[in-house]
Amino acid sequence: MGKYDQEQKEVLNCAKWLSEHGYFGGFRGSGGNISLKVADENIIAITPSGRPYWDMSFADISVVDFELKPVDAKYAPSKEARMHAAIYQHRSDVKAVVHTHQTYASIFSIINQSIPALFDEIANEIGAVIEIVPYAISGSEELAQNVADRLGNQCLCYILQNHGALSLGAGIDQAWKNTELLEKAAQVYYHALMTGREISQLPRETIDYFNKKRESS
C-alpha cells in the first residue's frame, strides 16, 4: 500500500468514467486532467501528461507538490498541473479539480459567452454564473494566472476561452458532479438560444438566496 493510493484511485476512477462518457473529446483521448488535493498537505494526485486513461492503473497517477516536484510519480504530471496548483492556492474550499474538453461547454468557449444560472440546481451547486476565463495557451503560466484571477467569484465552474471547461469541488464527487451539471446547463442553454426565443431568467432574489446559502455552508 502506498501513502497516496486512495487519492490516486479516486482520480483514476473519475478520469475513466469521464473518458468513457466523452468528456475528454473521445474515448481514447486524454484531453483533460483531474486532480485531488491530499488532506492537510500541499500535495496533489493528478493525471499524468499525455497518456490515455482507458488502460491506466492507479499507480500511474502522479503525486506532486504545489511546485510540481514529484512526490510519487512514474510519469510527468499533466501539463496543466500549474493551473491546478494555482486553484488550490487561491481557493481553500476547493479540494478537487476537473478540467475537460466537453462538447457543449466548448461551444460557449468559442462564442466567448458566459452561462447564467438558469435553474435552481445551477445557482445552488455552481453559483450565479459560469464565467469565461480569457484565453492563454495550454499549460502556460499565463493560463494559470488567468484562472486564478477569476476565482474570486466563488463559483465552482468556469469555461476556458477556446479551450474547454473547469469544474471544482470540495471532493472528487462534487467536482465530478459539477462537470456533468455544467454540460447539462451548456446543452440546454445552447438549444434554448437556437430557438431564438427570449430566455427566461431566474429572479434576482433566487440568485441572492442561493449565494447566501452557499456562503454559509
Binding site for Zn ion (CB under 5 A): 164
Minimal distance, residue 152 CB to Zn ion, in Å: 22
Strands 157-160 and 129-133: parallel
Query: Between 103-111 and 172-194, two packed helices, what is the crossing angle to 10 degrees?
Result: 60
What are residue 46's DSSP bridge partners?
A: 35, 62
The set of catalytic residues is 80
Minimal distance, residue 14 CB to Zn ion, in Å: 16
CA separation for the pair 85, 77 (Å, rounded):
11
Look-up of cell digits 493551473: 83
Minimal distance, residue 32 CB to Zn ion, in Å: 6
Nearer to Zn ion, 117 or 136 (CB): 136
Sheet holding 62-65, edge to edge: 70-72, 62-65, 43-46, 33-37, 96-100, 164-169, 157-160, 129-133, 115-116
Nearer to Zn ion, 48 or 164 (CB): 164
What are residue 36's DSSP bridge partners?
A: 45, 96
Minimal distance, residue 173 CB to Zn ion, in Å: 22
Nearer to Zn ion, 137 or 170 (CB): 137
Minimal distance, residue 102 CB to Zn ion, in Å: 11
Cβ-closest residue to Zn ion?
A: 164
Q: What is the dihedral of CA 140, 146, 147, 149, to 10 degrees?
A: 150
Nearer to Zn ion, 128 or 136 (CB): 136
Nearer to Zn ion, 79 or 90 (CB): 79
Q: Is 99 helix (H, G, I), strand (E, B) or coil?
A: strand
Instruction: Give the DSSP letter of residue 77.
Output: B
